[in-house]
Amino acid sequence: MQFRDLKKQYSVLKDEMDQAILDVVASSAYVMGPKVKEMEQAFADYVGVKHCIACASGTDALLLALKAWDVKAGDAVFVPSFTFFASAEVIAMQGATPVFVDVEQDTFNMDVRDLIYKIEHTIKAGQLKPKAIIAVDLFGLPADFKLIRPVAQRFGMYLLEDGAQGFGGRIGEQKVCSFGDIAATSFFPAKPVGCYGDGGAVFTNNDEWAALMDSYHIHGKGSDRYDNVRIGLNSRLDSIQAAILLVKLKAFKDYELVDVNTVAERYTEKLKGVVKTPEIPRGFYSSWAQYTIQVADKKVRAKLQDALKAADIPTAIYYPIPMHRQTAFSYLDPTMNQCPVADRLADTVLSLPIHPYLSEEDQDKICSVIISNL
């Protein structure tokens, strides 16, 4: 059994996908070709924002946003501790200081009370300027932007949405990657919409930031191609990946997103009361980058993971070490970065296989192994 069955997906999309790839090969427009423009327009339209700029990875997308806002040494950027390393890494890459915010046990997303507490604490300490909040749509579920947006406003901070796992998610009718002042997403193969390699994009309605990110992602280009006006990156999306993404987006819109939600609902039906199943707040819609259950403790989890493995069922632990415990961040003041819920989740979470092509038969097998081992 596969954790995320990309082979199955390819077998379904094969005819259309092979043609799209061969067309790019034949066109010889491999970098920054018309396919990239077409893909950017399609993704901007889907999300419902004015600008989409494709780049080389989700990590670069986050970095481009921080560059557009000139986030630098002396700035504090608030980010959940329970996330993938890149969400926090980019803050330190800019020379700014990450402040780790705890998450809610039910949704895995940023705890807004702890966010406010840590912003006020940072202001009181007087060393750093609170500059931006990075809200992560973890496991596919949008962060609670109805609560986070007013906090950003109240403290005069930028709001960056890390939608690397959330693409396709919604609150009401509003889609992920439209909630932040800028949003970033990733097209790493295992994300809700992935390409066949690395890729990413930024989204914004702001013309000025879009122009800055457009410049930063191509060596800080100016209007004259050979006069570079700022220090930037080489962070472009390959045309071939853009063509792949156009095929994938169509399948995602047509059925994949609905199908993965059906799989998630079925898990919850079968596992509710056996383990703690993920909770989707009223009005929220997840794209289910992960289906993550919680069990009593580390020992129970290890035993369950072994039993699943013996039955040829792959699982994963997202995330075993929260950001405030990462070796790379050991230079930070621990008293400013306590996150007890993230600590507990690191010991109790287990992510199960989930993707739009997971069969009912495989799902029944997964659930029965879980039920008989708890």
In the set 33, 58, 80, 98, which binds ligand PLP (CB under 6 A)?
A: 58
Between 69 and 187, CB nearer to ligand PLP: 187
The DSSP H or E segment spanning 8 is: helix 6-27
Stretch that binds ligand PLP, among 22-30, 81-89, 101-109, 344-352 (CB under 6 A): 81-89
| 136, 237, 349, 358: residue in contact with ligand PLP (rule CB under 6 A) | 136
Pattern 87-106, ligand PLP, x by CB under 6 A: x-------------------
- Find all residues with CB under 8 Å of 91, minimum gap 6, and list them: 66, 71, 77, 79, 97, 98, 134
Pairing type for strands 170-171 and 174-175 reads antiparallel
Distance in angstroms (rounded) separating the CA atoms of residues 130 and 64: 19
Stretch that binds ligand PLP, among 19-27, 34-42, 54-62, 246-254 (CB under 6 A): 54-62
Residue 57 CB, shortest distance to ligand PLP, in Å, is 4
User: Per CB under 6 A, does 83 bind ligand PLP?
Assistant: yes
Which of 84, 158 has the CB closer to ligand PLP? Answer: 84
The rounded radius of gyration (Å) of the Cα atoms in the chain is 21
Q: Smallest Cα–Cα separation from 242: which of 21, 50, 8?
A: 21
- Select from 9, 59, 178, 305 the one that contacts ligand PLP (CB under 6 A): 59
CA neighbours closer than 13 Å in the CB half-sphere of residue 345: 27
Per CB under 6 A, contacts with ligand PLP among 158-177 are: 162, 164-165
Degrees to nearest 5, angle at CA 137 with 286 and 189: 80
Helix count (H) and strand count (E) of the chain? Answer: 12, 12
- Give the type of residue at 140: G
Cβ-closest position to ligand PLP: 58
CB of 158 to ligand PLP, least distance (A): 17
Toward ligand PLP, which CB reaches closer, 241 or 370? 241
Residue 137 beta carbon to ligand PLP: minimum distance, rounded to whole angstroms = 8
Of these, 122, 178, 186, 294, which contacts ligand PLP (CB under 6 A)?
186
Q: Which residue from 169, 200, 278, 322 is in contact with ligand PLP, where contact means CB under 6 A?
A: 200
Assess 145 for contact with ligand PLP (CB under 6 A).
Answer: no
Query: CB of 46 within 8 A of CB of 178?
Result: no
Tokens 């997403």 sit on residue? 185
* Contacts of 283 by beta carbon, 8 Å cutoff, 6+ apart: 171, 172
Q: Which residues bind ligand PLP (CB under 6 A)?
A: 57-59, 83-84, 86-87, 136, 162, 164-165, 186, 188, 198, 200
